[in-house]
Structure formats: structure tokens, C-alpha cells
């Protein structure tokens, strides 16, 4: 039998010790199975012919069973609609495309809080590229620099380079940000929206202390570019694109459990040996094509297709709402034990020699990118290079602290489960000269406001029941307000529950790694054990790093999320800063 089939998305319910009911969510039918048959069916992945499905089951389950009997079961599943013909995925409604309004332009933006030594190479590497210059793509420089001298130099740099660029380069410093916020607040007042919502989104609360406001800077860029596709980038990512020969050769694919391929290097020379330069890569063109043109499902590999993603492709018109690219060069992670925790997924050679391992732990040099172009229904995005489709329903970022890209991705997917995120087999050069080496301490404060906010939205996002994105946004707003309004003791108890579950998961991953590699080599194992001890200490008071006003910030984000679609519409009417 050469026809290909994919497994339906099913929920399993135990009816008795000998019977499991499989609810087929693709067609709302019910199938009665034994526990063994249920486990076998739920292990299926991909769109394959019967023989390929059998081979996959043998490899993935390790079960010993008569092949002929399993083939008979697969034919029964086909007859029952549990295994579904590939042609259902090629229905016109299954095109991957953007929202109507695919004539939207593209705006490029940088979020920065540093001086011209960082901004200059970012901007020069882009305005010199035909990918930007030939299309006259406009640039937004969103500068949250509190150093008046540095911001003045950035402004003059933007003016000087803008004089030679065929498009526009708009510098948005703190004065321009304030004027924009005042105008948007005035419009919001007339629309019945609290002025403080605008301040919270684009500046962060006044009591933010020294917390990062990258999320607020990203929100400013989204509002200024409202109605356009937006290509937003960190300020230390040059427009020099790299891949590996392996990734470049792979077909585009649908993948649910996506994680980027990650490798670490002791020296910049070792990293450069692995890089394949893509001199003519046109990231704006790729983003415009993926956002604006229907993608034929048949052009993408279905080998790793999960039942849940197949159900989306079969039943609904889905969209690519966001695109992210990877990193080549400096670290993007925040603590030096991170590479040690990724050992299972990486080239093991560098972990086995102490000198190389210590160099990796200190400098964090890495190559992180997708193995081939991947469209996924996972809640994963990396914010370093991030493209957002116009009218995609993207939410605002939490304006404070780290992990803002992760919580953004979780909310984005929770609001619209039919969205796909696309991950490119491309890494932009992450300039190591702007990243200080780590010290030998193996951890930092992990459970700050950004991480706790991520844990909250991850917890709440999985509980949303409504069909439409607008209704789901309303559900999430109400849930966030309910959590923020809890009495202090109940709020702290809820946060402790989330934090302890997160820490326990990290501890389990450490134990699994130590067991997998038998605690060798000693220098790697010692670091993991030290990290484990630090997490155990943090578990004693897991929310100690949170400021007392965190509940208020949570409530203000709920108000911001509620008002966000209206603010984006109002922002399009503000054309002059």
C-alpha cells in the first residue's frame, strides 16, 4: 500500500482496565481500543505509507510485535478514520498564508539602549545590503538610552547614514518616545482607554528600577509600524547571514516539537569553521513571501508532522504569524551553565576536554539555527531576529526584564492556536565584541519578573477554551486580572507553586544528564551539581527576587493586552512624531 496517511489528533479516555476510548478530534468520532492498541496509535507521527508507519513504530517504541498483525490494525485505523489520507492536507483551506491585506509593506526596526559603537555596524550592514536598499525599506531606531551623550551620537549617526540611504531612517529617542506616547495617550483617552496603559507599554512603570525595558522598546516599534510587516532585531546582530551545509540541504518541513540545533565553540576560529556564509540571502524577501503568499502544503515535508499540527492543516486555514532566525557568534543566553545543560543536543567533543569546556562556559560562542526551514505550532520564538506579520494579532510584549520573547510567543500561540511560527535555517552574526565574558559563577537570579510572567502565561494559556482570537484574548485578560487581584498570601502561594514546578523540572533535567553521561567528565558534572545546589537554594524562597509591585504590573499588562488592538489602530493615525 503506497498511499500515505497521517494520524488523527486524538484524546484518550480510559473506560475500563481493558478499554480505552479514542476521541478523534478531526471528525468527532470515537474508537474503542485496548490499552496496548491505544499506546501504539498515539505513538504514530508523520504522513507515511503503512510500511513506513510500521517501521517508525518499531524504531520509536522498541516493542516486539507481529508485523502482519500491526499492518491489519493500521488498515482498521484507516477504515475508522484514525489514519487519514494525505489528500485531506491538500485541500485549498489548508494553505499557509497571511491574513487578507497581503499588500502590507515591511518596516525594519532595531531596539537599542547602547551607543554608536553598537548601532553603527547594525545599521551599516543593512543599508549596504540590496535586500534593504533596493526596496527602500524604512528603518526605525528605537533608542531607550538613558545616556544623553550616547543618544545624541546615535541621533547624529542616523541622520548621517540616512542622508545616503534611498529609504527613510527614523530615529526615536526618549524625547520622540515621550511625544508619541502623549499623542497616543490623548487618542486613547477619547477611546476610553486609561492613559497609563500607553505609559506601561512603551516606557515601563516608573518603579521599574534597573530592570531591562527591551519589551517596552519592542512595543514601541510595533506601534510605530502598525499596519506593516515588522522585521525587528537586537542591536548587536549584524546583517551577515550564515547557515550550515546540512541545514541548507533540508526540505521545508512541518514540525511540532521544535527546538533549534545548537552547538558551542571554545574559540571564534572553531565557530568560523562551521559557518557557511550566505552572501546574497534576502531575509526581507523571505519574510514577505511567507507572510503574503499562500504556501502549498505539498512543498513542505510531512515526515515530522504531529497529529495536532495535521489537524490544523486539515481543518483550518492557517497562517504564518511570525518568523525567527538564529545566532552565530556571541551568547544569547543569560547564565554560563546553559551550555552544560544542553550537552545532550550538542557536539559532545568540546565537553570532554577541560580547556575547551571552560572556554565555552566563559565565552558562550554558539551557532543556533533551525535544521532547514521549519513551520511549527510550538510556542517557541527567539527575539534576536523576529519578523511579525501585519494584522497577525500579535500581542504586546511584557515591557520589563528578560524572557520577553518567550512569554510573547506563548501568548501569541495561546491567542490563536492555528498560527504557525516559521524558523529559518539562517543565523545572523551576533557580534562577540559587545558581549562581556561570563564570570565563573554558574547562575544568576533566574526567577525574576520576566521568568515568573512567562510561567504565569504558560499556565493560563493552556486553559483557554474560546474559538476566536478575540474571545481567547478576553479569557486571558480576565484570568490575568483574577490572578493579579488575589490577596497577597494567595498570590505568593500561586507564584510559589509555579516556581517550584519550574525548579523541579530543571532539577530533573540535571539528574537525567548526570545519569546519561555517568557523571563524566568531572568538571562538567561538578558544574551541574553546583547549578543544582543553586536551584535548591532558590526553591526555598522562589519568588524572593520579585518586587512587591509585581501583582500590579500583572494587572497593568492585562489592561494593556485588552486595549492593544485599539491602540494599534490608533497608532496608525499618528503619522508625525
* Helix/strand/coil for 192: coil
> Which is it for the CA torsion 507, 509, 512, 517, positive or negative?
negative
* 147-151 average pLDDT score: 94
Instruction: Of 46-60, 262-276, 431-445, 470-484, give the range with the top mean pLDDT.
Output: 470-484
User: What is the pLDDT confidence band of residue 101, given thresholds at 50, 70 and 90?
Assistant: very low
pLDDT of residue 257: 82
- Give the chain's domains with CATH numbers: 5-90 (3.90.930), 106-232 (no CATH)
Outline where 137-237 has alpha helix (H): 148-162, 174-190, 195-202, 214-224
**CA separation (Å) from 67 to 31, 72, 75, 123, 168?**
22, 9, 12, 60, 65
Mean pLDDT within 418-429: 95
Instruction: Write down the residue that cell numbers 545532550 correspond to.
Output: 344
Q: What are the residues facing 374 on neighbouring strands?
A: 253, 423
Instruction: Determine the pLDDT at residue 60.
Output: 81
- Could you read off the pLDDT of 220-263 as tens digits, one per residue? 999 999 999 999 999 999 999 999 866 656 779 999 889 899 99
Residue 265 has a pLDDT of 94
Helix (H, G, I), strand (E, B) or coil at 89: helix
CB neighbours of residue 28 within 10 Å: 7
What residues form DSSP beta bridges with 263? Answer: 367
- 64-71 long-range CB contacts below 8 Å, 24 or more apart? 70/40
Global pTM reads: 0.93
Question: In this structure, how many other beta carbons lie within 10 angstroms of the beta carbon of residue 149?
Answer: 9
**Quick one: pLDDT at residue 513?**
97
Task: Determine how many CB atoms are found less than 10 A away from the CB of residue 479.
Answer: 18
Calculate the dihedral angle through the C-alpha atoms of 490, 495, 500, 505, rounding to the nearest 10 degrees: 140
What pLDDT, on a 0 to 100 scale, did the predictor assign at position 91?
58
**For residue 13, which phi and psi values (nearest 5 degrees)?**
-130, 130
* 435 — pLDDT class (breaks 50, 70, 90): confident
What whole-number distance in Å separates Cα of residue 43 and Cα of residue 31? 16
Question: pLDDT digit string (tens) for 42-63?
Answer: 999 999 999 999 999 988 877 7
Length of the chain in residues, anyone? 577
Percentage of the chain exceeding pLDDT 90: 76
247-261, 356-370, 438-452, 537-551: segment of lowest average pLDDT: 438-452
**Could you give the CA distance from residue 428 to residue 236 in angstroms, rounded to a whole number?**
10
What pLDDT is recorded for position 116?
A: 96
- pLDDT for the residue numbered 97: 44
How far is 117 from 33, CA to CA, in rounded Å? 65
Amino acid at each position: 500500500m503506497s498511499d500515505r496517511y497521517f494520524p488523527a489528533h486524538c484524546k484518550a479516555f480510559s473506560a475500563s482496565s481493558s478499554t480505552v476510548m479514542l476521541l478523534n478530534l478531526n471528525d468527532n468520532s470515537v474508537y474503542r481500543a485496548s490499552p496496548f492498541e491505544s499506546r501504539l496509535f498515539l505513538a504514530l507521527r508523520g504522513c507515511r505509507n503503512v510500511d513506513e508507519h510500521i517501521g517508525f513504530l518499531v524504531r520509536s517504541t522498541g516493542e516486539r510485535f507481529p508485523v502482519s498483525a500491526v499492518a491489519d490494525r493500521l488498515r482498521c485505523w484507516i477504515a475508522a478514520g484514525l489514519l487519514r489520507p494525505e489528500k485531506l492536507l491538500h485541500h485549498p483551506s489548508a494553505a499557509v498564508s497571511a491574513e487578507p491585506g497581503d499588500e502590507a509593506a515591511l518596516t525594519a526596526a532595531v531596539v537599542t539602549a547602547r551607543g554608536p559603537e553598537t548601532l553603527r555596524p547594525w545599521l551599516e550592514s543593512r543599508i549596504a545590503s540590496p535586500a534593504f536598499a533596493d526596496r527602500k525599506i524604512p528603518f526605525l531606531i528605537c533608542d531607550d538610552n538613558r545616556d544623553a551623550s550616547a543618544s545624541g551620537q546615535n541621533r547624529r549617526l542616523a541622520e548621517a547614514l540616512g542622508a545616503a540611504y534611498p529609504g527613510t531612517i527614523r530615529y526615536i529617542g526618549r524625547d520622540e518616545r515621550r511625544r508619541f506616547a502623549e499623542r497616543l495617550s490623548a487618542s486613547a483617552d477619547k477611546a476610553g482607554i486609561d492613559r497609563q496603559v500607553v505609559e506601561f507599554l512603551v516606557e515601563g512603570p516608573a518603579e521599574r528600577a534597573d530592570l531591562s525595558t527591551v519589551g517596552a522598546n519592542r512595543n514601541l516599534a510595533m506601534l510605530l509600524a502598525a499596519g506593516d510587516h515588522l522585521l525587528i532585531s537586537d542591536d548587536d546582530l549584524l546583517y551577515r547571514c550564515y547557515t550550515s551545509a546540512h541545514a541548507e540541504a533540508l526540505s521545508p518541513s512541518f514540525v511540532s516539537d521544535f527546538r533549534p540545533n545548537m552547538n558551542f565553540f571554545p574559540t571564534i576560529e572553531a565557530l568560523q569553521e562551521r559557518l557557511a556564509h550566505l552572501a546574497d540571502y534576502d531575509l526581507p524577501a523571505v519574510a514577505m513571501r511567507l507572510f503574503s503568499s499562500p504556501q502549498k502544503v505539498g512543498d513542505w515535508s510531512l515526515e515530522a508532522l504531529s497529529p495536532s499540527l495535521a489537524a490544523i492543516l486539515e481543518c483550518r486555514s492557517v497562517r504564518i504569524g511570525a518568523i525567527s532566525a538564529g545566532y552565530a557568534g556571541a551568547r544569547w543566553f543569560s547564565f554560563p551553565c546553559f551550555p552544560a545543560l544542553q550537552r545532550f543536543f550538542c557536539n559532545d567533543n568540546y565537553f570532554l576536554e577541560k580547556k575547551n569546556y571552560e572556554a565555552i562556559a566563559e565565552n558562550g560562542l554558539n551557532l543556533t539555527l533551525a535544521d532547514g526551514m521549519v513551520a511549527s505550532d510550538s510556542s517557541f520564538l527567539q527575539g534576536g531576529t523576529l519578523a511579525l506579520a501585519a494584522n497577525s494579532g500579535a500581542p504586546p510584549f511584557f515591557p520589563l526584564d528578560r524572557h520577553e520573547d518567550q512569554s510573547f510567543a506563548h501568548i501569541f500561540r495561546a491567542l490563536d492556536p492555528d498560527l504557525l511560527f516559521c524558523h529559518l535555517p539562517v543565523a545572523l552574526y551576533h557580534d562577540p565584541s559587545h558581549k562581556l565574558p561570563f564570570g565563573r559563577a554558574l547562575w544568576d537570579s533566574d526567577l525574576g519578573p520576566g521568568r515568573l510572567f512567562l510561567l504565569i502565561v504558560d499556565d493560563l494559556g493552556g486553559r483557554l477554551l474560546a474559538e476566536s482570537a478575540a474571545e481567547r484574548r478576553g479569557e486571558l485578560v480576565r484570568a490575568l486580572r483574577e490572578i493579579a487581584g488575589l490577596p497577597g498570601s494567595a498570590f505568593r502561594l500561586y507564584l510559589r507553586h509555579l516556581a517550584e514546578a519550574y525548579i523541579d523540572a530543571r532539577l530533573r533535567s540535571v539528574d537525567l544528564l548526570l545519569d546519561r553521561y555517568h557523571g563524566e567528565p568531572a568538571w562538567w558534572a561538578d558544574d551541574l551539581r553546583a547549578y543544582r545546589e543553586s536551584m535548591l537554594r532558590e526553591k526555598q524562597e522562589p519568588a524572593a527576587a520579585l518586587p512587591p509591585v509585581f501583582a500590579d504590573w500583572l494587572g497593568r499588562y492585562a489592561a494593556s493586552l485588552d486595549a492593544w488592538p485599539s491602540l494599534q489602530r490608533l497608532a496608525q493615525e499618528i503619522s508625525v512624531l
